Amino acid sequence: MKTFSYTIKDAVGIHARPAGLLAKLAKTFSSTVTLEKDGKSVNVTKLMMLMGMGIKCGDTVNFTVEGEDEEAAAKAVEDFMAANL
Amino acid sequence: MIKFKGKGVYGAIAIGDVSVFKRQDAQVRRTHVEDIQAEFKRFEAAKEVATQQLSQIYEKALKEVGETHAQIFEVHMMMLEDDDYNESIANLIETQSVNAEYAVASTADNFAAMFAAMDDTYMQARAADVKDISNRLIACLTNAGSASNDSSDKMIVCADDLAPSETVSLDKERVLAFVTAFGSSNSHTAILARNMNIPAVISVGEEFLKSVKDGDRIIVDGHTGDIIVSPDADTEAKYAKKQAEDKRKKELLQELKGKDNVTLDGARVNIYANIGGVDGIGAVLANDAGGIGLFRSEFLYLESEDYPTEEQQFLAYRKVLESMAGKTVIIRTLDIGADKQIDYFKLDKEENPALGFRAIRICLTRPEIFRTQLRALYRASAYGKLGIMFPMITSVSEVEQILAICEGIKAELKGEGIPYDEKTEVGIMIETPAAAVISDKLAPLVDFFSVGTNDLTQYTLACDRQNAKLEPFCDTHHEAVLRLIEMSAQNAHKHGAWIGICGELAADLTLTETFLRMGIDELSVSAPFVLPLRDTVRKLDLKA
């Protein structure tokens, strides 16, 4: 299991397009990528629920990546967050 | 006869019948189904059709309104694939034996309610996206056609505002004009109307929609923003005459082809065109532009999955230069930033992209990208009359660094025995107040200046161009901007450089005289503005 935190820098937060791209990215791995904020968590492949979290600029979110390719998946998600959000 | 007033976004007159834009808020009835499996199949088939439609809309939008505005349809496609959304629909069909339409509608309500309840206006607006994709699904299930009218006549489309998917889906052949109650000059309707040369008036107000119904006679004057519903015979005749005059004017403009850009008292100005890709060359030649004053090189990077190679770039630049057959072509080097993202550049997100890591700042920080482009440009210079222009300049040292890199590349090419044109002109954009203020220091270093009025205005007036609320504060004729242009022109001429304008102001015919009096040597405008601008120039008398 891999975990890491990320603080959102994008002014609009995890909005529609990055949420879509994140979901798409997570689906390419067999590992489960879970995002948690304030006790609420969501599997990031679930686009609508992910958008429904209402994650804003300045929010810190915790990722948990678990599965066979967790190493690669965690790296990919972390890079994605840094580049897009 | 009732009159309304809005904001004209494309100057032309249309007279025709109203078609009130109808949304597909289809009435969905709940019915009991026996064959659950068949219902699943209907749903899957509808989803496939909906996805196809969305991908067509995406492609259409990509061409007509650009990638930034098209992205929302990519998200719509992803939303259609959302697990929870699909599970909820399947569950309803299975556990309640309801028809797919009902299952979609009630799932849409639930998800839309979730977004609408959020305390974030951006996310609240996502409720509309859920409704949009769900209505599309329902329409596919019921085999309903598109939202447009069935009549085959040309119509004047009246709407509160048009959503991106709605604007892009309209059959352009059947739209005489657009009128919307809301919207800003940056809205999709406005952008599209300008690109399609269709008269359009926006921000007419809510009252307008209550006063029109399908088939009402209506006059739309895109010059003034006037809307006249149910005009009397005299008024309609008056506008028909005006419309005919417009048409005659357009024909007259055709006669201007081949004529010089010279004022009555003999002052000359070059009129060039702006383009954003190789496919724009046809319009440049058709409108008889004297050259290309701004060729945006971004398309090479946007169309590519990875950094375009020197060879790819060389071939594209060479094609442009050869097509223009010896006429000047000014190519601007890469001008991207956090607002115009290209994935493989891996640029960081920025709070304030307009003031961020962009254009020449990227090129000077990552010289390998810059060098590839410059080598390709210099190699292409052997095939026509090239000018190379650098964006976002703010200091002398930037220009010195650029020139040193150019000299290095020329020496390399010489060493390798590759031909290039020694006379290739080098110029910079004057689009920051800093560059205008130190234009006396910059002019001796370069062959030409080109004023990018959009950014120069945005930076000088501290007004975000994308923010519709700022429109009243963003006076494009502001004296501060005009003074900066005049100052740059004086300094350019003092040091033997020439100066052009390639921003939107170049096409503003009310400023043509002002610019000519400043001594501006070149105006570069989108191709359809070349002939109207020539017409204006030929009627001016600077000695009068």
Q: What is the CATH number of the domain that holds B86?
A: 1.10.274.10
State whether residue A27 sits within 8 Å of chain B by CB: no
Most B CBs within 10 Å: which of A12, A28, A40, A48, as the mutation test of the B interface?
A: A48
Q: What is the per-residue pLDDT for B146?
A: 46
What does the pLDDT average to over B47-54?
90
State whether residue B79 sits within 8 Å of chain A by CB: yes
What does the pLDDT average to over B421-431?
96
Provide the percentage of residues in chain B whose pLDDT is more than 90: 51
Q: Determine the distance in angstroms separating the CA of B122 from the nearest CA of chain A, rounded to an integer.
A: 8
Strand partners, A43: A34
Which of A10, A48, A56 is facing B85, going by the closest CB pair? A48
At B164, is the pLDDT very low, low, confident or very high (cuts 50, 70, 90)? low
State whether residue B130 sits within 8 Å of chain A by CB: yes
Mean pLDDT of chain B: 88
The bridge status of strand A2-7 relative to strand A40-43 is unpaired
Q: What is the per-residue pLDDT for B185?
A: 61
Cα B151 from chain centroid (whole Å): 30
Q: What is the per-residue pLDDT for B147?
A: 44
With tokens 């950094």, the residue in question is B307
Report the alpha-carbon distance of residue B115 to residue B134 in Å, rounded. 14
Q: Determine the distance in angstroms separating the CA of B401 from the nearest CA of chain A, rounded to an integer.
A: 29
Rg (CA), chain A: 11
What does the pLDDT average to over B326-331?
95
Query: Which of B78-87, B118-127, B265-274 shows the lowest mean pLDDT across its residues?
Result: B118-127
Q: Quick one: which of B111, B114, B150, B149 has its CA closest to B133?
A: B111
Say yes or no: B116 and B208 in one domain. Answer: no
Say yes or no: B400 and B534 in one domain. Answer: yes
Q: Is residue B219 part of a domain?
A: yes
Report the alpha-carbon distance of residue B212 to residue A29 in Å, rounded. 54
Say yes or no: B128 and B202 in one domain. Answer: no
Query: Which of B65-69, B150-154, B436-440 shows the lowest mean pLDDT across its residues?
Result: B150-154
Active site (catalytic) residues of B = 188, 502
Quick check: B521 pLDDT over 90?
Answer: yes
Q: What is the per-residue pLDDT for B24?
A: 55
Say yes or no: B208 and B347 in one domain. Answer: no
Q: What is the per-residue pLDDT for B343?
A: 82
CB contact under 8 A, B129 and A46: no
Tell me which of A4, A6, A10, A15 is the catalytic residue: A15
Query: Which residues of chain A lie closer than 8 angstroms to B122, CB-CB?
Result: 12-13, 15
pTM of the model: 0.54
Q: Is residue B251 part of a domain?
A: no
Model confidence over A66-79: pLDDT tens digits? 999 998 999 999 99
Quick check: B14 pLDDT over 70?
Answer: yes
Q: What is the per-residue pLDDT for B249?
A: 74
Model confidence over A14-70: pLDDT tens digits? 877 788 888 888 989 999 999 998 888 899 888 888 888 888 888 899 999 999 999
Say yes or no: B65 and B161 in one domain. Answer: no
Q: Is residue B255 part of a domain?
A: no
Which of B82, B347, B351 is facing A11, going by the closest CB pair? B351
Model confidence over B175-217: pLDDT tens digits? 889 898 887 665 556 766 766 678 889 889 888 988 888 889 9
Q: Is residue B249 part of a domain?
A: no
Model confidence over B490-509: pLDDT tens digits? 999 999 999 999 988 999 99
| Contact assessment for residue B389 and residue B330, using Cβ atoms and an 8 Å cutoff | yes
Q: Is residue B312 part of a domain?
A: yes
Quick check: B237 pLDDT over 90?
Answer: yes
Give the 3-state DSSP-derived string for B147-172, with helices as H, strands as E and coil as C.
CCCCCCCCEEEEECCCCHHHHHHCCH
Quick check: B26 pLDDT over 70?
Answer: no
Say yes or no: B273 and B352 in one domain. Answer: yes
Say yes or no: B153 and B128 in one domain. Answer: no
Say yes or no: B449 and B524 in one domain. Answer: yes
Quick check: B144 pLDDT over 60?
Answer: no
Say yes or no: B61 and B126 in one domain. Answer: yes
Q: What is the CATH number of the domain that holds B212?
A: 3.50.30.10
What does the pLDDT average to over B260-268?
94
Q: Is residue B247 part of a domain?
A: no
What does the pLDDT average to over B141-153?
56
CB contact under 8 A, B82 and A16: no
The whole domain housing B481 covers: 267-539
At B254, is the pLDDT very low, low, confident or very high (cuts 50, 70, 90)? confident
Q: Of the residues B183, B216, B235, which one is the last residue of a structural domain? A: B235
Q: How far is CA B59 from CA B168, B197, B199, B410, B496, in A?
A: 10, 20, 24, 41, 47
Q: What is the CATH number of the domain that holds B385?
A: 3.20.20.60
State whether residue A16 sits within 8 Å of chain B by CB: yes
Domains contained in chain A, CATH given: 2-84 (3.30.1340.10)
State whether residue B120 sits within 8 Å of chain A by CB: yes
Q: Of the residues B235, B256, B279, which one is the last residue of a structural domain? A: B235
Quick check: B338 pLDDT over 70?
Answer: no
Say yes or no: B510 and B365 in one domain. Answer: yes
Count of structural domains within chain B? 3
Say yes or no: B72 and B105 in one domain. Answer: yes
Model confidence over B100-130: pLDDT tens digits? 989 999 999 888 888 888 877 777 777 778 8
Q: Is residue B379 part of a domain?
A: yes
Say yes or no: B75 and B176 in one domain. Answer: no
Model confidence over B448-473: pLDDT tens digits? 999 999 999 999 999 987 777 888 88
Quick check: B62 pLDDT over 90?
Answer: no
Q: What is the per-residue pLDDT for B196?
A: 66
Q: What is the per-residue pLDDT for B397?
A: 97
Q: What is the per-residue pLDDT for B148?
A: 43
Q: What is the per-residue pLDDT for B149?
A: 42
Q: Is residue B518 part of a domain?
A: yes
| Backbone phi and psi for residue B315, each to the nearest 5 degrees, phi listed first | -65, -40
Q: What is the per-residue pLDDT for B499?
A: 98
Q: Of the residues B235, B254, B280, which one is the last residue of a structural domain? A: B235
